[in-house]
Amino acid sequence: MSPAGTQRRSTHRALSGTVPSGVRATLAWQTGTNLCQVDYRPAINTATEKRIAPTAGFDVSVVLLGSGIVNQVRKGENAGRELRHEFVALRLEKAALERDADGVWSAKLSLPPRPDLSAPQQAVAAWVTRQHQLAPIQAVGGWIDGGAR
């Protein structure tokens, strides 16, 4: 929630993360369609000014997160309590990144909303891995419309 008297930004349409080696990931989110595009730019060889070509491809995982979710517990040890949940994974998609002529790896993914669960605040996060690996090599994320700042 924003403190009284402050203003929120209307939307984050592009999010990016950079590490010192020049590696960069960008996530562009289209509000309303829940489509996102992830672009990944591997490091540049400073001697040749060309992007370093990996021996294998890359995968990207994108998660739509919900925050501010409240549940009223009816039974069990928490009966009568109100439970609050932050950063609940509402949707997770994974795709292979495809390389273009400039050495930029990209993918477009759709993360449709869940009809059975609504979240007053939403965020999106993405992480890039080497193909068929688990360890992330770059991550990016941020709030979508109405998210906490």
What gap in Å lies between CA 39 and CA 127, rounded to an integer?
A: 11
Single-letter amino acid code for the residue at 82: E
According to the model, what pLDDT value does residue 118 have?
84
Q: How many CB atoms lie within 10 A of CB 23?
A: 18
Structural domains in the chain plus CATH codes: 14-143 (2.60.40.10)
What gap in Å lies between CA 109 and CA 61, rounded to an integer?
A: 9
Going by DSSP bridges, is the β-strand pair 35-41/24-30 parallel, antiparallel, or unpaired?
A: antiparallel
According to the model, what pLDDT value does residue 66 have?
93
Identify the segments of the chain with pLDDT beneath 50. 1-13, 17-20
Burial of residue 77 (number of CB atoms within 10 Å: 0-12, 13-18, 19+): exposed
Q: Are 145 and 10 in contact (CB under 8 A)?
A: yes
According to the model, what pLDDT value does residue 51 have?
57
According to the model, what pLDDT value does residue 48 have?
59
What gap in Å lies between CA 128 and CA 47, rounded to an integer?
A: 25
**CB-based contacts of 7: which residues, under 8 Å, 6+ apart?**
none
According to the model, what pLDDT value does residue 3 have?
36
What gap in Å lies between CA 80 and CA 88, rounded to an integer?
A: 22
According to the model, what pLDDT value does residue 5 have?
35
